[in-house]
A and B are shown apart, each in its own frame.
Chain A
């Protein structure tokens, strides 16, 4: 698949550059400070005003509404899943629990990095004859210590997956592509946004991986007339995958429904019509497990009609999530078109 002609040739490189920078910043839910600072530095010259709210959401405003314009809120969450130390044992091993929805199957052998820089790997103890997948109680972090006193980690310290970004052909592999891809695309949209009849609230939200508290509070504070979350979705294109009509390389997935919301039908149609008019490949997303910031925005105050543009992603919440660069570029193209054209209603 080729990228549509209207794209600036540098778009893919720009998004890839952003991604490379953002992916290596640890930002487990509730501790998004460092990635927020990086985003704030990049977008401040391109917006009219910018602030950080009580929970740590980065909220930027841009544009003046024309007669036929709308106030549109866009939300991309900055946080990622991680682990938190619960106990340091006598031999210096760190016991832990999850921050956000961690899948045990992806943990053993993985590397982690604590916010203060300490590194470790996930070890696992399997009982002789055990046939069930090991529980979290059977796992531990080896941070190179040999006793409790030497251990560089304290109870309450947070860590995230530690892995450099990798390019495989036209695909990118890395930790926290959920949702640094959404963040990178939204930043690139903001940086290159031309004339628009709309006014925008851009939210880089916190704690999506917990209960979407950031989107909830940011939406409460806004008087937006409609909202779009920019996030990732799983795909159904791997061997024996659960049935899902989303594939890597198929273009942005227009969310119709997920576990937590039904997208506003007018926004779904707006997204699909805009993509068709511009010849942007796209697919429809019906997600059985998981939801996004849009769930909370939709029911904030007296309600904000909401939808979500999703980037297809494989191996969700693993240390090696995978996306297709064309999907990032097409998501950028569709989002830019949506924000500069006539709104859904």
Chain B
């Protein structure tokens, strides 16, 4: 006997197959509004595993895996396909282009980076002044978008048009338990949904939404939820881990989430107060099965849940994120073990789901 009930239930493993999928997803470019390549990849991976598959008017991929038991709850899982990046706003000739940001990017961190641009994913870079030529007084100065150019080299002259997009050219890497890559926010969520589609529980109707334009203000998720009309929804995303020492040695009170502490369950963020019944369900599922979990620090930030919960006559919603350091920079760092625990938390929580979790008898506190 094991003293943790459910500890012997089958678990899902993140192995080479899952990491290869995440690598493909991370290396693919899908800047908000231009998710085509990610969408094609998602469709290719799930096509044979789902009962229903459609692409809606904005480009969300909506898939359904219908369960087999009677009285199934309709559960929407949402993960966004898009990532932050930039858009070409002017061609200055000779392979030099002006850009503007798409989504939450820090301008200073764009300078000096290798990028991938346009429909042809051309290699390029954003140049900056070498330290030899930089005045002492300019070293700490903020860079403005007006100063930055994407340089595609002479061969890149005229090869991209205004409105094409690009992002960092980081290649995915694995180092023991750690993964490095661009766009892990939210390709980790996308890969999680694909894994759950591959192991869809029989007791629910799993409605998987791979959404567009989350980084621009949750623009895709709302219409996806409107169409799916689920009984409840879970946004699966990535949240910054900021569990770093504070420079002055004081206690870190703004950690947001922590690497190695498992999936981050949301109680509240800027756009959503999570439904307390769903928070409780996830916490209980983790505790009953001995899986690690953490409560994400309440406060700012947001996920697709912010748009989903207010659709139609209301959809109880919660979010679960894989913690990752350095979100929206050229590289996010995450742990395979945190991802695996996230996949398993959702997998086991979904198996424990029926209508009773939406009972209102004791719904005001977890």
Contacts and interface: CB of A to CB of B under 8 A. Distances in A.
Interface stretch (A11-19, A52-60, A261-269): A52-60
A84 interface: yes
A325 B363 CA distance: 33
A30 B268 contact: yes
B298 A220 contact: no
A32 B364 contact: yes
A115 interface: yes
Contact of A56 (B279, B362, B363, B365): B363
A33 B363 contact: yes
A90 B316 CA distance: 35
Interface stretch (B66-74, B75-83, B306-314): B306-314
A228 to B, nearest CB: 20
Contacts of B273: 29-31, 99, 207, 210
Contact of A217 (B279, B298, B313): B313
Contacts, number: 91
Nearest to A52: B360
Q: Which of B231, B298, B360 has the most CB of A within 10 A?
A: B298
A31 B365 contact: yes
A216 interface: yes
A300 to B, nearest CB: 10
A73 B12 CA distance: 49
B365 A54 contact: no
Contacts of B271: 211
Contacts of A225: none
A89 B253 CA distance: 7
Contact of B297 (A57, A87, A89): A87
Contacts of B316: 54-55
B20 to A, nearest CB: 36
B179 interface: no
B267 interface: yes
A97 interface: yes
A211 B268 CA distance: 13
Interface in B258-304: 267-268, 271, 273-276, 279, 295, 297-299
Interface string B330-366: 0000000000000000000000000000101011111
A90 B366 CA distance: 24
B253 A54 contact: no
B297 A31 contact: no
Contact of A116 (B299, B314, B365): B365
Contact of B251 (A31, A84, A90, A207): A90
Contacts of B218: none
A203 to B, nearest CB: 11
A85 interface: yes
A241 B337 CA distance: 57
Contacts of B275: 30, 55
A101 to B, nearest CB: 13
A115 B314 contact: no
A173 to B, nearest CB: 26
A156 B295 contact: yes
Interface residues of A, number: 38
A89 B298 contact: no
A208 to B, nearest CB: 12
Contacts of A95: 253
Interface string A213-226: 11011101100000
A220 to B, nearest CB: 5
A86 interface: yes
Interface in A185-235: 207, 210-211, 213-214, 216-218, 220-221
Contacts of A207: 273
A213 B310 contact: yes
A54 B251 contact: no
Contacts of B268: 30, 84, 99, 156
A155 interface: yes
A223 to B, nearest CB: 12
Interface string B162-192: 0000000000000000000000000000000
A124 B96 CA distance: 52
A158 to B, nearest CB: 8
A46 interface: no
A211 B272 CA distance: 9
A34 interface: yes
A57 B310 contact: no
Nearest to B265: A156
A217 B310 contact: yes
A99 to B, nearest CB: 7
A270 to B, nearest CB: 28
Given A31-B273, A217-B312, A84 B298 contact: yes
Q: Which of B275, B276, B364 has the most CB of A within 10 A?
A: B364
Contacts of A90: 251
A156 B313 contact: no
Interface string B224-261: 00000001000000000000000000010111000000
A276 B274 CA distance: 45
Nearest to B255: A87
B155 to A, nearest CB: 49
B309 to A, nearest CB: 7
Contacts of B366: 156
A259 B205 CA distance: 42
B299 to A, nearest CB: 5
A15 B268 CA distance: 33
Contacts of A216: 310
A85 B365 contact: no
Nearest to B267: A156
A154 B295 CA distance: 10
List the 7 closest pairs (A to B, CB-CB), nearest first: A30-B273, A33-B364, A217-B314, A55-B314, A156-B267, A221-B313, A54-B314
Given A30-B274, A86-B299, 13 more contacts: A31-B364, A32-B364, A55-B275, A55-B315, A56-B360, A99-B273, A115-B364, A154-B295, A155-B297, A156-B295, A156-B298, A213-B314, A220-B313
Interface of B: 231, 251, 253-255, 267-268, 271, 273-276, 279, 295, 297-299, 309-316, 358, 360, 362-366
20 contacts: A31-B364, A32-B364, A33-B364, A52-B360, A54-B231, A54-B313, A55-B315, A57-B314, A84-B298, A89-B251, A90-B251, A95-B253, A116-B365, A137-B253, A156-B366, A210-B273, A211-B310, A213-B309, A216-B310, A221-B312
